[in-house]
Amino acid sequence: MRTTFSIDHWELKAPFVTASEEVFSIETLTVYLENRNGTGRGEALGVDYLGETAQSMSHQVMGVSRELDAGTDRQGLLSLLPPGGARNAVDCALWDLECRRAGRRAWEQAGVEPSPVRTLYTLSLDSAEAMAREAAAHARMPALKLKLDADDPAGKLAAVRAARPDADLVIDANGGWSIGLLRDLLPALTAHRVELVEQPLPRGADGDLDDLECPVPLCADESCQHAGELDDISGRYQAVNIKLDKCGGLTAGLALARDCHERGLDVFVGNMLGSSLSMAQAFPLTPFARWVDLDGPLWQRGDYDPPIRYDDGVMNPPAPGLWA
């Protein structure tokens, strides 16, 4: 095996604003693993709020390049690198190689049935008026995810609902609320038919949810990075956002999805932003998911060829030339 990598810069079409950051462009790490069967590739953006960057992930990968070149497989990788973006990129490159050798698609290797799937479209955090305009401008998107913070979330939710009475709505607070604010918002969440609230409280404040009777399901994102944290969120959340960058690849993501189902937790498949390559890597998880949020390429000015095709909020299976 021969291990190489590239760091790729992607400009966004508009600022991506959440309760914790404002993003204008992203840098992804792509790992290439080459052997006699061809070259496999895997992309990762990394978990930025844990300090991961394309550069730091590349150092992690090069730190284990001797083991990779010696032929470490996907199971061996689980103990070679910790959960995170570096392991994700390597794991997905191994999947790509494995599928090339077997002449099968990744979902066939994973034992799941593929089909086009509806994805949420994210509305960036902005004023109530601006978010309502964006919601109306994307009238062909049937499901929207609202990025909200502690600044007038009820007003912004009401404005979006008025602009899109037909849409399915999910809220992502990125840990920007307090338990008091969440309690105050419960009537509005019900009145405006919100399907799910993602990460309402900061990571580490999850114990505040113990006595909450919430009529809307809650989803752990930052509070559940990987399978080792499921015990910490069980009983407090009803769903888990599985991102390959957090859990460390498709191998770990599939195991986590099955573990969630065994525990009675719904699965939300998400992304940290990224190109069609990153979304293709997560696609085999979608049969496990109640909610899918794989709209990253729709935010980018450029993409891989062939890109994933999106039809009015429906994500189609990735073409063979893209990945696995």
pLDDT at residue 158, as a whole number: 98
Please state, as a whole number, how many other Cβ atoms lie within 10 Å of the Cβ of residue 202.
18
Q: Where in the chain is the domain with CATH 3.20.20.120?
A: 117-315
Residue (of 30, 12, 41) closest to 85 by Cα position: 30
Check: CB of residue 100 under 8 Å from CB of residue 40: yes
Does the 2-110 domain belong in CATH 3.40.50.300? no
Tokens 């949020």 belong to 293
Per-residue model confidence (pLDDT) at position 88: 98
Contact 226, 83 (CB under 8 A): yes
Average pLDDT for 188-209:
98
pLDDT in tens, 206-251: 999 999 999 999 999 999 999 999 999 989 999 999 999 999 999 9
Nearest 5°: the CA angle 182, 186, 192 is 125
Question: Region 104-116: what's the mean pLDDT?
Answer: 95
How far is Cα 160 from Cα 178, in angstroms, rounded to an integer? 22
Residue 37 has pLDDT above 90, yes or no: no
Q: How far apart are CA 149 and CA 37, in angstroms?
A: 48
What fold does the segment set 117-315 form as a domain? TIM Barrel (3.20.20)
Can you give the pLDDT at residue 114? 85
Mean pLDDT of 91-110: 96
The pLDDT value given to residue 78: 97
Mean pLDDT taken over the chain: 97
Task: For CATH 3.30.390.10, list the domain ranges present in the chain.
Answer: 2-110
pLDDT at 10: 98
pLDDT per residue as tens digits for the range 57-83: 999 999 999 999 999 999 999 999 999
Please tell me the distance from the alpha carbon of residue 157 to that of residue 75, in angstroms, as a whole number: 44
pLDDT at position 6 is 98
Measured in residues, the chain has a length of 324
| Percent of the chain with pLDDT strictly greater than 70 | 100
Q: What is the pLDDT of residues 268-316, one digit of tens each?
A: 999 999 999 999 999 999 999 999 999 999 999 999 999 999 999 999 9
Are the beta carbons of 99 and 290 closer than 8 angstroms? no
3-state SS record for the chain: CEEEEEEEEEEEEEEEECCCCEEEEEEEEEEEEEECCEEEEEEECCCHHHCCCHHHHHHHHHHCHHHHHCCCCHHHHHHHCCCCHHHHHHHHHHHHHHHHHHCCCHHHHHCCCCCCEECCEEECCCCHHHHHHHHHHCCCCCEEEEECCCCCHHHHHHHHHHHCCCCEEEEECCCCCCHHHHHHHHHHHHHCCEEEEECCCCCCCHHHHCCCCCCCCEEECCCCCCHHHHHHHECCECEEEECHHHHCCHHHHHHHHHHHHHCCCEEEECCCCCCHHHHHHHHHHHHHCCEECCCHHHHECCCCCCCCCEECCEECCCCCCCCC
- Which residues are marked as active site? 147, 243
| Percent of residues, the chain, with pLDDT higher than 90 | 98
Question: Rg of the chain over CA atoms, in angstroms?
Answer: 19
